[in-house]
Structure 1
Amino acid sequence: MKIPSVLFMFLLLGLTAFAPPVKLTTTKLATGLSVGVPATFAPLPDDGIATKYPSPRKPLAVFSNPSGRVDFSVAVRPTTFESMDYGVLLKIYKSSIQRLYSKVEFLKEDIRTVKGRDFIYFEFVSTVTDGQRTNQLAPIKRYQAVQYAIQGQQLYVFTFVAPANEQAQWQPTAQAVMNAIALK
């Protein structure tokens, strides 16, 4: 007996509607900034951040799942833009994301409001391929949710990254984390 695809979709949606809610722990990172972090995630120490995210400007905080394959990070950078520039910044950041990776499949991109604050939001699957012909490495694919906000002269960047083959597992968590950000 074949199940029509529409019926199958309703069945799948019905089953996922009863999935347990994501458990987040509220963590205060700075004055006026708190985030929801999955209960099983742990903060990376400074040396772990330096190893995993080598940069002259290290993230404000990084939280990883027990396997270390999934991260939620918060970075702060100076900016001369203002929140009224979000429409232009959406296009600029989308272009920047496309330049960072070999291929990008955008799932969502918009300006949205979370807890009374506007954010620029992207959800996508990125692919990095080895451009050298001598060493053909397997492509690296990642599911990512990125949210940007401007507060004063600071740009806050919230990033959730997971392996693309685990997107179905981590997408609800990424969305819950992004919806739990409180920036005053």
Structure 2
Amino acid sequence: MKNVFFILLSFFLLNTAVGYAQSSSYGSKGKPTAPANRNYNYDAPINLKKVTIAKRVTVSLPEEFTVMPDEGIAVKYPAARKPLGVYSSKNGQIDFSVNEKPTTFIARDLPLVKDIYKASIMRTFSEVQFIREEIKEIDKKQMIVFEFVSTLKDENPNSNKAPVKKYTIMQYYLKGGKLMIFTFNAPTLLKDKWQATANKVMNSIKVSS
């Protein structure tokens, strides 16, 4: 009887370990598991609403997104130049932002700008896996598009912080001496849930002339 018991126990532990590894592996087709205390409804539909930002940009964002207050922007996006707008999900995990900066580049420089910002992205993160990189027409305007998964590790050898993993779409638009940067990001854990919506959001961007 002891032998039978140990055989059954070993079989149970083996199958449990295999199941855990499959559900935890990166790029799994299964739905990711969010922490129970967040009450995250993976299958809830994501409805979009049209939003106007700085009177020049319209975009369709998830209905649950709200404007991030200035104090939140100062903490999460510290920079000398404040973003034109930042919108965030209820749990604060998913953001959409619009930034603008002066530039000497013009529209015909897009291929060069694309190479420059790809290099910048690769320098910013410890690891980057590009899903796509292209110059695409959106609302009859040429925009640079990067879609990628990134990992940012704490370089301090004494740090116990876990790497930060993000799924991101970034779009760049050149016009009249200005470079506009649109960013949608979410934790990599939620990539499968949000990827289709993120692409809808980024394809809905309209910039007035």
TM-score (norm 1): 0.86
Match status 1:158 vs 2:188: no
Query: Equivalents in 2 of 1:104, 1:175: separation in Å?
Result: 19
Q: 2:108 aligns with which of 84, 88, 94?
A: 84
1:105 corresponds in structure 2 to 129
Q: Identity percentage over the alignment?
A: 42
Q: Which amino acid aligns with 2:61?
A: V
Match status 1:168 vs 2:197: no
Any gaps of 5 or more consecutive residues in structure 2? 1-28, 30-42
With over 3 angstroms needed to count, the CA separation of the structure-2 counterparts of 1:88 and 1:68, relative to structure 1, is same
Q: Which amino acid aligns with 1:63?
A: Y
1:136 corresponds in structure 2 to 160
Match status 1:35 vs 2:62: no
Match status 1:74 vs 2:102: no
**3-state SS of paired residue (2:186):** strand
With over 3 angstroms needed to count, the CA separation of the structure-2 counterparts of 1:111 and 1:83, relative to structure 1, is same
Computed over aligned residues only, the root mean square deviation of the Cα atoms, in angstroms, reads 1.7
Asked which structure has the greater CA Rg, the reply is 2
**3-state SS of paired residue (1:69):** coil
Any gaps of 5 or more consecutive residues in structure 1? 1-11, 13-18
Query: Equivalents in 2 of 1:32, 1:52: separation in Å?
Result: 24
For the Cα contact (< 8 Å) 2:167–2:187, is it kept in 1?
Answer: yes
Query: Equivalents in 1 of 2:85, 2:54: separation in Å?
Result: 10
Q: 1:134 deviation in Å?
A: 1.3
For the Cα contact (< 8 Å) 1:125–1:143, is it kept in 2?
Answer: yes
Comparing 129-138 and 119-128, the one that deviates more: 129-138
1:43-82 equivalences in 2 (<5 Å):
43-82=67-106
The answer to which structure has the higher strand fraction is 1
**3-state SS of paired residue (1:81):** coil
1:183 corresponds in structure 2 to 207
Q: 1:137 deviation in Å?
A: 2.1
For the Cα contact (< 8 Å) 1:22–1:176, is it kept in 2?
Answer: no
TM-score (norm 2): 0.76
**3-state SS of paired residue (2:91):** coil
Query: Equivalents in 2 of 1:131, 1:20: separation in Å?
Result: 37
Query: Equivalents in 2 of 1:27, 1:104: separation in Å?
Result: 30
Q: 1:27 deviation in Å?
A: 1.4
Query: Equivalents in 1 of 2:122, 2:186: separation in Å?
Result: 18
Q: 1:22 deviation in Å?
A: 4.8
